[in-house]
Structures are given as C-alpha cells and as structure tokens.
Structure 1
Amino acid sequence: MTAETIDRLLMALIAATLMASVVIAVVNPSYFHMVFAAEDRLVENGTALFLLFASLVLARNALSLRRRGLSLAMLLTGFYALLFFFASGEEISWGQRIFGWQSGDFFAENNYQGETNLHNLMVGDLRLARAVFGGPLTIVILLYLVIFPLLYPRVPLIRAVADHLAAPVPGMRHAVFAVLGSVIIGLLDVPRKWEVYELIFAIMATSTFLLPQNPDKTR
C-alpha cells in the first residue's frame, strides 16, 4: 500500500471521527462521555495507537536520513520520534490499567488520577496537563498545522530552514481539517470532547509525517 493510499485512508478516518462525534454527542450525550470518549475506550486507545504510529514513521524517517548522512536532521527526527513514543505511553499511563499494576507513592500522592503519568501531575493546585499540555501546546500545534503550511511555499527562509532540519511540513488538507476539527469539537457541548480532539491530531500527525509537503527532505 502506497503512502498516498494510506494518507487518503487517514483523512477519511478523521472525517468519519468528526461525523461520528457530532452524531453521538447530539443523539446520546451520555454515551459520548461514558463510553465513546471514556478512559480506556475507543477514542483514548485510538489516540495512543496513532501517536505510536507517528513515532514509528518518524523513526523510519530518521533511519533514512542517517543513511543519507544528514546527522542533524536525523538526530532531530529521532528526538521527535521519542517524544511521540512518550506521548503514546502517557496516554494510556504506560499500560497501568491494561496490566493492572499499582502506582508508586510519588504518583499516588501527586497525580490527579493517582496514575503513573506526568501529564496529570499536580503542582500545588495546578494540573500540569492544563498548564503545559493544554492551551499552550494546542496553540503551538495549530500554528504548525495551519500557519506553517501557508508560509513554507511563500517564505524562502522558512522553507530553507525547514528543509535543512528535515521538518515535515503539513499540507493544506491538514490545515483545513485542523480548523474544521477545532470548530466542530469546540461547538460540542459534552464532557470529554477534547479526547476526540486529541485523537484527530494524533491521526493528523501520522499523516503529516508520512506524507508532508516536503517528502524528499524528510526521509
């Protein structure tokens, strides 16, 4: 199966996820937050899975860049691969609920959910997820998905730096879905709707790393 075919399937999956979310949220809001987007259910496990897929795509790209002798680009891409692997593990608390092991004393006392992950740690009365992984990270991701693909073909300096660092540049399809997904999810009035938002961005990341605007520079 070609990268183009996989990418089309990923785009179709994003569209289907958005449509399903709207229908479920309107028809059965309780099912939405108690089953569809609940802990350890379809949406959360899907997010972890696609973050892992994104990590594997980046790892493959890093190996390809290494064979081309592009050391800096290889190191950066490898680092991004580790970040996405970490995010995948964090999403499911590193398999804690799957395998049934208990949190250590530190996480039991300082984690919002008493689980072994960093994004739910409490710093005083502040949740780390909201301070770092919430609004600020969302803004950075939206700038990457919406603004970056517009600037890349128009600003030579940005294009040169991105290509030198082998930074995958999202396509316009990613920008459109990022805006559309933000509007649709933002308008839903159900708990845990942002879990779907995370799933959409995980799928979009996989698509971006697999087939960016500059595939000849990233792998």
Structure 2
Amino acid sequence: MVTSAATKRNWLTHPAIATGIAVNVFVLGLAVAWSGPDPKQLWRLLGEDGIVEWMQFLCFTVIAGLLAFATVERARQPGAGRLELLALGGLSVVVALAAIEEISWFQRVLQVQSPDFFLQNNRQAETNLHNLAVGSGSLHKNVILKLIVIVGLTHNLVLPLLARSRPAVRDFVERFGLYLPPLAASIPYLVLVILSHLLIDHPRKGELGEMFGAVHYLATVFGAYFVGVATRRAPLFENANDGRRLSTLFAMMLVFLLFVAWLLSAGVGATGA
C-alpha cells in the first residue's frame, strides 16, 4: 500500500502526469500559433469534428475502459465494498456516454440525418442530449458547464488542499472508491484553462478547457488506480518495475491519441458549425 508520505511527493515528474500536461501545453500553443488572420486553421483545431473534439472523445473512451477494468479488478479483491464498485462502475458508464455524446453518437461519421425531435429541439440540430435547448441556451451551457466548474474546482482544488492538512478528507473520498488528483497535476490544468480563455479569441474556445480536462482526468485516473499516484489505496500494479513500464507505455499512448485525433479530424473534416 502507498504510504501517506508518498501522497505528498511532487508527482509532476511522473510520466503519466508530465505527459498529460505536455499534451495540453502543446495544444494550447497550437491554438495560439493558429490564432492568426486565417481562421481556417483554428477552426480545424476547435470546430466540429476538429482535433480537440476528437481528442475529447478518445480520452473519454479510454477513461471509461480504465474505470471498467478497475471495477472488475476491484471486484475480484477480497473485501471490496458494493458502494465502491457501484461508484467505479457508474462512473465508467457515465464517461462512456459522455464520449459518445461528444461526437453526437457517430451521427456525422455515419452521415445519419437527425430525427425531427432533435431538429426542432437541439441547438445544433444534432442527435445528442447536451445541446438540447434550455431557456435561451442549451443544456450544456446553462446546466452542464456550471456543474463541471463546481465539481472540477471542488475535486481538483478544494478537496486536495483540505486533504493536505486533514488526511481524513482523502480517506473519506477513497473509501467510496474515488481519488483526489495531486495538486501538481490539478494546478497546471486549471492554469491552462484560464490561459485558454485569456489568449484565444474564438467562439468555441471553451472546447480547449474541456479537452484539457479530458486529458487531465485520463492521466490522473490511470495514475491513481493503476500505479498509485497520490493515493493511499493499493494500485492494481503494485510492483514498482511493472508500474514504471506501464507508465512509460501510457505516456506513449497519450501522445498517440493526439496523433489519432489529428488524423480523424482530417478524415471526417472539421467544420465551422
């Protein structure tokens, strides 16, 4: 089991955390570099079926798979609590649905026409729930984004700060099968979100923050459950050498996901919709 002292070390140098931050910094740098007089490049990055949107889908898909794997492995361990398994399994399903919602259930890939209900009630006439009209905006903008901000700040900043002086906070969270991201990962993530709003002038600049969150959670979910980054719970791979090798492979995979997202944006064709 990881000791309490280990939860306080600087995890910025861990391959999973460092690579996640590097990918997000690269994408923000790309957005700044493409914020020139020609809007086509930035639309390629931020538009529908753009690099950022596909990266979100890929990250959410992998997160769902990692959580499902962790659920099965925890279920095989003696003394696994039902609430813990329900939380992990439930999160896996929620994240999988978020991944499919992100690309409108493959509607544009398969070139499927939206049903009448979505044509009339969806802000973008797409087959998805998060863009359904709510008041003067959409479900995503008026409800989901506000919840993301509250949950994100609480999970990444408030609770980790409290846990530094009150270890019982971390114990309480981990009792439910959950985890707290290390501040070494959370602070760069939050800073990058703020910078994306300050440096980028684009109607879809919010997509950058969502992608930063997807990459951040992919790195920290892997770190917490698989190799024990900043957690007191025993990771799925307790052997240090196995964890090191697995972390190196994960870092390579994370970079590869960005490459795949780039290819998918070229194949499907990012638009300014």
Match of 1:117 among 124, 128, 135: 128
CA distance in 2, matches of 1:29, 1:139: 35
Contact residue 61 and residue 218 of structure 1 kept, 8 A: no
- Is the counterpart of residue 39 in structure 1 residue 48 in structure 2? yes
Deviates more, 1:38-47 or 1:100-109: 100-109
Relative to the length of structure 2, the TM-score reads 0.73
Deviations 1:123-160 (A, max 9, x none): 34341111111233223212211222222232233122
Report the counterpart of residue 5 of structure 1 in structure 2: 15
Deviation at 1:70, TM superposition (A): 2.7
Report the counterpart of residue 195 of structure 1 in structure 2: 207
Contact residue 47 and residue 202 of structure 1 kept, 8 A: yes
Relative to the length of structure 1, the TM-score reads 0.89
CA distance in 1, matches of 2:160, 2:41: 33
CA distance in 1, matches of 2:128, 2:232: 34
Match of 1:161 among 169, 172, 187: 172
Report the counterpart of residue 16 of structure 1 in structure 2: 26
CA distance in 2, matches of 1:83, 1:160: 24
Deviation at 1:167, TM superposition (A): 0.9
CA distance in 1, matches of 2:235, 2:90: 14
CA distance in 1, matches of 2:216, 2:194: 16
Deviation at 1:28, TM superposition (A): 4.6
Deviations 1:73-107 (A, max 9, x none): 11101101111111101100010000111222211
Deviations 1:22-70 (A, max 9, x none): 2222x35613542211101111111111111111111111112211223
Unaligned 5+ runs, structure 1: none
Which amino acid letter does the alignment assign opposite residue 173 of structure 2? Answer: A
CA distance in 1, matches of 2:67, 2:232: 12
Higher RCO structure (Cα 8 Å, ≥6 apart): 2
Match of 1:64 among 58, 70, 73: 73
Three-state SS of the structure 2 residue aligned to 1:182 is helix
Runs of 4+ in 1 over 6 A off after TM superposition: none
Report the counterpart of residue 152 of structure 1 in structure 2: 163
Which amino acid letter does the alignment assign opposite residue 84 of structure 1? Answer: V
Three-state SS of the structure 1 residue aligned to 2:233 is helix
- Is the counterpart of residue 214 in structure 1 residue 225 in structure 2? no
Which amino acid letter does the alignment assign opposite residue 142 of structure 1? Answer: L
Which amino acid letter does the alignment assign opposite residue 38 of structure 1? Answer: G
Contact residue 168 and residue 218 of structure 1 kept, 8 A: no
Contact residue 196 and residue 205 of structure 2 kept, 8 A: yes
Provide the identity percentage: 27
- Is the counterpart of residue 143 in structure 1 residue 143 in structure 2? no
Distance 1:24-1:156 versus aligned 2 partners, 3 A rule: same
